[in-house]
Homo-oligomer: A and B are copies of this chain.
C-alpha cells in the first residue's frame, strides 16, 4: 500500500461520508494512527480537506470550515471587530453602519457593555436587540434587500436627528486621493448624513478595499478620524493614508 493509494482511499471515504477519523483510517488501511495522521496532514496542506480534532472533514461540510469563511466572519473581520471594540471605550452613543463587518462587531460586543447604538442595519437587530446592555435605535427608511439596510431620504433625515460620540463606518472603497467612495448612491448619502451627526468617525476597511474607488463620493480622507484595518499600523500599504487619518493597530 503506497502513500498515494492511501491518499486516494482517504479522499474517497471523505467524499462518501464527509468526514474521516484518524482511527478509522488507521484500522481500515492497516497503518498506524501516526501514519494516518501524517497522510491527512499532507492532504490538508493541499487544501483537499480540513483537519479537525480527531480527523478531517470535507471543506464543504460546514460553513465554519471553508465555504462561508470569507463571506461571513473571516479572520480579517474578527481582527477589525476586536480593534473597533477597543475604540468603543468611553462612548455612550455609537452609530453602526451596514455590512457584515459591523455584524462581527455587534456579535463580539462583551455582555457587560452599556451602549446606545443607532443603526439602519437590520442584520444587527436580532443581535443587538438581544443584548441586555444595548439601547437600540433603528433608523427607518426603504429596506434594501441586498444590504439588509434601510436607505433613502427618510434614513438621512432620521440620522440627522441624533448626535453620536462615534460612527463606525463600513467602507466599500478607500483611496488616499479619492477618499471614501460608495457603490450605491443611497448608501453613500446615508453615510454622509451620519458622518455629519457624529463627533468622531472611524472607518472599518478590509485591506482588499484599500486603494479602490467607486463612483459615489462620500468624503475626503481628512473628514474621518481613523482607519481600522486588519493590517498592523506600520504596514506599507497604509502609507498613503497616514497624512489625514489616524491608523490603529
Contacts and interface: CB of A to CB of B under 8 A. Distances in A.
Given A4-B64, A52-B2, A103-B47, A154 B143 contact: no
Contacts of A216: none
A107 interface: yes
B143 A64 contact: no
B3 A53 contact: yes
Contacts of A103: 47
B158 A140 contact: yes
Contacts of A87: none
Nearest to A153: B161
Given A7-B62, A138-B140, 13 more contacts: A2-B21, A8-B62, A45-B107, A45-B108, A47-B100, A47-B107, A59-B126, A62-B126, A63-B126, A63-B129, A129-B148, A138-B150, A140-B140
A249 interface: no
Integer count of this chain's copies in the complex? 2
25 contacts: A2-B53, A2-B57, A8-B62, A46-B64, A47-B73, A47-B107, A48-B72, A57-B126, A59-B127, A61-B126, A62-B126, A64-B129, A122-B122, A122-B125, A129-B145, A137-B142, A138-B140, A138-B141, A138-B142, A138-B143, A139-B140, A140-B141, A154-B158, A154-B161, A158-B158
Contacts of A53: 2-4
A135 interface: yes
A126 B54 contact: no
Nearest to A9: B62
Interface in A1-35: 2-5, 7-8, 11, 19, 21
A65 interface: yes
The size class of the interface chain A forms with chain B is 35 or more
Interface string A131-160: 000011111111101001010001100100
B19 A46 contact: no
A123 interface: yes
Interface in A56-77: 57, 59-65, 72-73
